[in-house]
Amino acid sequence: MRALASRRALAWRVFATNALVLVTVSVFLVFSPATISAPVAASELLVLVGAVTVILIVNLLLLERAFAPLDELRGLMQRVDPLEPGTRIELRRADADVAALADAFNRMLDRLETERRESARRALAAQETERLRIARELHDELGQVLTGVLLLLDAAGRAPASEVDEVLVEGREAVRATLEDVRRIVRDLRPEALDDLGLVSALQALGAGFTRQTSVALELELPDAIDGLSAEQELVLYRVVQEALTNVARHAGASRATLRVLRASGEVRVRVTDDGRGFGGPAPGDGGLRGMRERALMVRGAVEIASRPGRGTEVGLRLPVEEP
């Protein structure tokens, strides 16, 4: 690095190259017996055109040599494969500017690969957490209920005829409760309202469930329809709102919250605000907030979080839409 730093910058090399060409031509003209008459003779014009051509060729060759490290850097950048981490740019010869550019590119690759590994790790951890949650619910709720139904059926087989109907009614109610648990688990995995009723109705159902399950009053400001979003963008919007409302219920200590969705300037904007305790400084880097940001990035969106202690929190989402 010390040797690279001691070399002249690329701009100075280009300047020196052009200066050398101009000085050489000037010296040649001063000491050359060649003259140009008026009007210019044909022989003089040929000599002039030839001299200019030689000057341009020499200048081109010198500049190509000066810019050769840049061409090498560009070729190496194009050959970097994101699926083969660890590849870095190593230049055989380079000016200080080109070396600095290569070093910045290598540092950028370091950051990208680190973030990619962290994202993959978090995605895997989220998958395993979700699988563990589903397995626990299946075991603790469905497993117990189905075991109870099996015991009721055994009891019905041994019970006197006068008591069979009562045992079967109890078993039927247990099966109905099991079906409701199955539907709830399915809704958690994929919001069926989003597929059956559309995004606006799904958000209304989500808001109604939030109000029913918490003591927080939720105000909805939704348009009649939200057009221009892909299925992936709709799912991201729903999940971000769902996570934001979950954070309000768990952490904000709020009494009121608002969900606003509008379309403006070629994008859909979502705002979830509350009047809770808020927080100071940058947004916490916990899994929920990071997950919202990562979901938004996957569909070219962006999540913005603003908060002040005692003044509540605002979670914003911007999604680009395709204009008809």
CA distance 276 to 253: 5
pLDDT tens figures, 130-157: 777 777 777 777 777 777 777 777 777 7
How far is 56 from 50, CA to CA, in rounded Å?
10
pTM of the model: 0.57
Is 146 in contact with 178 (CB distance < 8 Å)? yes
Cβ-based neighbour number of residue 126 at 10 Å: 13
Whether cis (ω within 30° of 0) applies to the bond prior to 282 is no
Structure-token pair, residue 200: 């606006």
In degrees, rounded to 5, the angle at the alpha carbon of residue 225 between the alpha carbons of residues 222 and 230 is 110
Which class in CATH covers the domain with range 197-320? alpha beta
3-state secondary structure of 78: helix
β-pairing, 217-221 vs 256-264, is parallel
Using alpha carbons, list the distances in angstroms from residue 22 to 52, 244, 293: 11, 67, 56
The C-alpha atoms of residue 213 and residue 217 are separated, in whole angstroms, by: 11
**pLDDT (0 to 100) of residue 271:** 92
Residue 226's pLDDT is what? Answer: 85
Confidence of residue 230 (pLDDT cuts 50, 70, 90): confident
Q: Strand 267-274 to strand 217-221: parallel, antiparallel, or no bridges (unpaired)?
A: unpaired
* Residue range 17-50, pLDDT digits in tens: 777 777 777 676 666 666 666 676 676 667 667 7
278 Cβ contact partners less than 8 Å away, ≥ 6 residues apart: 252, 307, 308, 309, 310, 311, 312, 313
3-class SS of residue 276: coil
Domain boundaries along the sequence of the chain: 2-113, 124-189, 197-320
Tell me if 297 sits within 8 A of 306, measured CB to CB. no
Query: How far is residue 292 from each of residues 51, 165, 234, measured CA to CA in Å?
Result: 66, 51, 13
| Alpha-carbon distances of 244 from 221, 231, 247, 290, rounded to whole Å | 16, 20, 5, 12
Structure tokens at 124: 């895997």
What are the tokens at 316?
């914003």
- And the tokens for 287? 């899994």
In tens, the pLDDT along 77-86 reads: 777 776 677 7
Rg value, the chain, Cα: 35
Query: What are the pLDDT digits (tens) for 99-141?
Result: 777 888 888 888 888 877 777 777 777 777 777 777 777 777 7
Phi, psi angle pair for 266, to nearest 5°:
70, 20
**What distance in Å separates the CA atoms of residue 210 and residue 232, rounded to the nearest whole number?**
23
Dihedral of alpha carbons 141, 128, 250, 297, sign = negative
Closest CA to 247 of 185, 183, 303: 303
